[in-house]
Structures are given as structure tokens and as C-alpha cells.
Amino acid sequence: MNAFFFGLGFSSQAAVTAMHTLDENVSTLGTVRTAERQKALQSAGLNVHVFDGTAPGPDLGPDLRKASHVVLSIAPGPEGDPALIHHRADLDAAEDLEWLCYYSTVGVYGDFGGNWIDETAPLVPRNDRSDRRVLAEQAWRDYAAERGVKLAILRLAGIYGAGRSAFDKLRDGTARRVIKPGQVFNRIHVADIARVTALAAQQRLEGTFNLADDEPAPPQDLVVLAAQMLGVEPPPEVAFDTAEMTPMQRSFYADNKRVSNAAIKAALGTELIYPNYRDGLAAIYQDEHP
């Protein structure tokens, strides 16, 4: 397996590690936005090209043309998906290409009033960034069909993990306890994204799947639990209607749904490593306090 990642960010780097855990012979490489980031990841042993999404990556073509598996983890812009815009010809020339994976978002569904939904739910996105995801999903479906390769679309919930959790927000003073009655968020631990990606790549999984944990929960519950674990006072409650928020922060509260993960677990024959936020936070805490 020669795996190429467009966008070696938080989730993709974890997926690289998971792929090597499953198969020590896998070859992995990918892209970052800046030369500084390239240097940092290369020092950690990763093979990295610079691609900022505004123009073709100057030297990634030969490696991309060798890829058998390509994971796409770059947010689409107004014109579409940067990888497809700037490197379609290289993908076309990848003779061994057999699997594509696109990281999308559960934001494509919009609002369902807190009800449970699965992959059959209609897509009614409520902001531009989710609209672009819907268009990008279809663009990759069309491309995969043209090429005759398998495509897995993973609709990711809110991502957390070590270095990006309620603990970090409490420490840096950005944690908030905004109360909107009935509101729940869906989330997924980065380790589960990584493991699912590695298993899906190994099996060349095809289809569109939600990737969220088993237990959607009010966002303030995570803050309270993390504060208890750290032995600090949680931030005071703030009513949603009076909370100061950026338009993007407020937009997350416009969608209220419970996203089912049954399809991905059935497709891969597996359960999640961290099926709820309590397990996920406990694992992060234990790693930080061995």
C-alpha cells in the first residue's frame, strides 16, 4: 500500500500512525501548507510535500502518481476541492490507484432538532462551509466513478484528542459552559478516526459513512467532567442567548442532531476505541498523568 494524504493535519497524522501499526510495510506521505510545517514533520520522520491549495504542489506529482490509496483531508474552497482542482491529472496518471477516502463532516446534514439520523437523512446544510462539503463529496463520487476506483466518504463529527480537548481549553482559559437547553454535539476521538481510516484502507471500504461516537452529549458536560478530573472549578454557566460568540461559533449551535455510527461499525465489523466522551477524556487524562 502506497498511501498519499492531502492535508497531514491532526487526523491524518494519527491515521498514518494507525496504518503503520496495521502494516509495517505501508508507505505513507502527504502534504502540508508551509515549508515550516514541512520541516517539522520531516524531522519527525514523515515524507512531506508543500501544497497550500492555491496552486499545484511543485514536486508532489511523481509521488502522487505512485499512490494506491489517497486520503483527502483539505477543506474545499469556493471553487471546489483543491486536490481535484490542481492535481487531477496526477490522479488520472496513478496507474495503481484503487481507493480514495474523503474526510467530510456531519455538518452536511444541518439541523434535525436533536433527533437521531443516519446516512439516509437528507442533506440540508445551513452554512457555506457545509454547502461546499456537499459539493465536494459529489465531485469525488463523480471522479471515483469515472476512474473505476472505490471511494469511502467519512463524515466526521467534532474531533478531539490529546492536545485538542476540554483539558487544553481549561488550561488556556478558553473553556466555556454555554447552555442551550436540548443542545447536543456529536464528537469523535482522533484515535478512532485513525483506526477506522486504516481499517477502511486495508479493506478498500466503499460508501458514505458517519463517524461519531456512540453518545452525543451537551457540550457543557465535557467541560464539567474535565474540570472535575483536573480538580479545578468549571467556568460559570452562560446562557446561549446572551453568550458572546463569533458567527462561526454560533453556527455550530444552529445544528442539533444525534448522528448514528451503526453503519461504519457494521461495515468494518468493529466497535470504537472510545465510544463516549467519558472514555475519551479518561484516556487523555491518563496519558497526561501516567
Average the pLDDT over 209-213 and give the result.
Answer: 98
Q: Phi, psi at residue 42, to the nearest 5°?
A: -65, -35
Confidence of residue 121 (pLDDT cuts 50, 70, 90): very high
Task: Name the phi and psi angles at 8, rounded to 5.
Answer: -85, 75
Per the structure block, which three cell numbers stand in for 153?
Answer: 466518504
Residue 134 has pLDDT above 90, yes or no: yes
Its sign, for the CA torsion 116, 134, 189, 100, is: positive
Query: Mind listing the domains of the chain with CATH numbers?
Result: 2-158+189-212+259-273 (3.40.50.720)
Residues 62 and 40 sit within 8 Å (Cβ to Cβ): no
- This prediction has a pTM of 0.96
Cβ atoms of residues 264 and 212 within 8 Å: no
Q: What is the CA radius of gyration of the chain?
A: 19
31 phi, psi to nearest 5 deg: -125, 155
pLDDT for the residue 150: 98
Q: What does the pLDDT read at residue 219?
A: 96
Digit-coded pLDDT (tens) for 20-46: 999 999 999 999 999 999 999 999 888
137 within 8 A of 208, measured Cβ to Cβ: yes
Residue 27's identity, in one-letter code, is: S
Compute how many other C-beta atoms are within 10 angstroms of the C-beta atom of residue 177. 18
At 51 the pLDDT is 98
CA 222 to chain centre: 19
pLDDT of residue 188: 98
**182 DSSP 8-state letter:** T
Question: Does 126 have pLDDT greater than 90?
Answer: no
Residue-level pLDDT at 179: 97
Question: Per-residue confidence at 142, pLDDT binned at 50, 70, 90?
Answer: very high
The three cell numbers locating residue 21: 501499526
Per-residue model confidence (pLDDT) at position 19? 97
Under the banding of pLDDT at 50, 70 and 90, the label for residue 233 is: very high
For the chain, the helix, strand and coil percentages under 3-state DSSP, each to the nearest 5: 40, 20, 35
